[in-house]
Amino acid sequence: VKVIIATYIATVAVQGLGNILERVTGESQTMLTMVGLSVDSSILAVTKLVIFIAAIIFIVVRGGIEIQYGKETGSALNVLITGLFGFATAGLILATLLSFVAGGAILDAGITESASISAMVQQSKLMQLLAFNQDLWFSLPAILLLGVGFLSSE
């Protein structure tokens, strides 16, 4: 659960930082070129990916988030819930990484047309599932958190 919360926070933070970096480097492109630096979309995508992963790790380890459930459910239900959270977390992280690599905004409907990922989407059913259903991957962890909250409420 901590990873889900950290991923949502990191996604918003990195998207905002990426937009700022794009704006600053776009405005300073001539100066950067004179200095010999070239900032293109692939460098920005890699920067966003690195910051995203680092932010998740930092928030999970040092973010002060503590999760406790007051009501214990049956062990079979715990295994099911843990599996669902793992699946939803993986989907959320992969959908976020995909949007950063594509260079688009989060939940961009045109993500599949991005030159960075269009070949992968055409060749892989898994990538198609991930790209075409990114709204599901972004909302599924939150829906699961709400559902578990109702299950564990006393």
Q: pLDDT digit string (tens) for 97-129? A: 888 888 877 888 788 888 888 888 889 898 888
Give the pair of three-digit tokens for residue 66.
């503590």
CB 101 within 8 A of CB 117: yes
State mean pLDDT over 4-26.
Answer: 86
* d(C-alpha 143, C-alpha 139), whole Å: 6
Confidence of residue 55 (pLDDT cuts 50, 70, 90): very high
pLDDT higher than 80, residue 68: no
Q: pLDDT digit string (tens) for 18-54? A: 888 888 777 777 776 777 777 777 778 888 899 999 9
* d(C-alpha 150, C-alpha 5), whole Å: 18
Total length of the chain: 154
* C-alpha count within 13 angstroms, C-beta hemisphere, residue 67: 13
Confidence of residue 92 (pLDDT cuts 50, 70, 90): very high
CB 6 within 8 A of CB 56: yes
CB 53 within 8 A of CB 87: no
Amino acid 43: pLDDT:
79
Confidence of residue 79 (pLDDT cuts 50, 70, 90): confident
Confidence of residue 130 (pLDDT cuts 50, 70, 90): confident
Q: What is the mean pLDDT of the chain?
A: 83
**Residue 104: partners with Cβ closer than 8 Å, 6 or more residues away:** 110, 111, 114
* d(C-alpha 136, C-alpha 143), whole Å: 10
Cα(first)–Cα(last) distance of the chain, in Å? 19
The structural domains of the chain, with segments of one domain joined by +, span 2-152
Percent of the chain whose pLDDT exceeds 90 = 19
**Which has the higher per-residue pLDDT, 83 or 148?**
83
